[in-house]
A and B are shown apart, each in its own frame.
Chain A
């Protein structure tokens, strides 16, 4: 037992010594962006090694043209494989650990923004929803006010209700008018 343990210690010591003698011994495991030994390492399908934080920043600045910095092959979050060394106790997918990034950004769509028309469609959809919902409110105020006279006529509550329903009617007309001229 003692001998094998000593053997291992010797071997690790030798490995450490060779590392200090040859600084390029680890060059095979350096991130292609920061040139440090890759942390939270991922490897692209084209075989190039990166720190995930570095690659994430690279992809983030090029949402429309995601290419491998080394060979310009296609690359994306789904086209890299996380690497788990034996020493790493935490086998968490590095891609789940997002580096600090600007807030309020939409996640990248699946097709990587190759079709810019899609964004425009999204805006249009929201707008039409706004118009569609409006007549519903309009009807509910007019019919609701006449149909269910919960508060006795002449009471301050009924007056308030009528005032409000007229106000909303005018707001509705203004809004529609604005829509027509806009």
Chain B
């Protein structure tokens, strides 16, 4: 219980870091606890300007362990995302959420890292081989549009 209390009080601080961003239309990330459970959050990120994801908005879920911030949260895309490092279930392959996690990261920096990852994928360890193959090519934009059309159906 004491441990959980610690993760909740840390998440309150994370929330305080995010509050100034909530009203700002310029901010690219936002997040808020989904319901009464402070350990489950919903976040949104906007695709970076000048990238193929410009203008797109993605929803994500963040599930925090009771040991947060010693252990990282599980972050998943709720909105289907065509990206080399995101699989069909929305799982994200990002080192700072796994072996390179540091207790210094908070919700804001996690979401910013994912936002940067959108525009700068790591094509060496792809979860979506098709997207990794098409990255930085003319066909990528088309493949992305086609993916989103199929999802919309």
Interface extent on A, as a size class? 10 to 19
A70 to B105, CA, bound (A): 9
A102 to B9, CA, bound (A): 22
Specify which chain B residues have a CB less than 8 angstroms from the CB of A100 in the assembled complex.
2
Main secondary structure of the interface of A (DSSP, over half): loop
The CB with the most chain B CB atoms within 10 A, among A35, A57, A58, A72, is that of A35
Specify which chain A residues have a CB less than 8 angstroms from the CB of B27 in the assembled complex.
none
Specify which chain A residues have a CB less than 8 angstroms from the CB of B146 in the assembled complex.
none
A54 to B69, CA, bound (A): 9
A70 to B103, CA, bound (A): 8
Complex contact A61–B9 (CB within 8 A): no
A137 at the B interface (CB under 8 A):
no
Q: Which of A35, A61, A69, A70 contacts B10 (CB 8 A)?
A: A35
Specify which chain B residues have a CB less than 8 angstroms from the CB of A35 in the assembled complex.
10, 13, 106
Contact string against B for A residues 40-81, beta-carbon threshold 8 Å, 1 for contact and 0 otherwise? 000000000000001001100100000001101000000000
Q: How far is the CB of B72 from chain A (nearest CB, A)?
A: 11
Interface members, chain A 70-103 (any B CB < 8 Å): 70, 72, 100
Specify which chain B residues have a CB less than 8 angstroms from the CB of A36 in the assembled complex.
9, 13
Interface of B with A (CB < 8 Å)? 2, 6, 9-10, 13, 67, 69-71, 102-104, 106
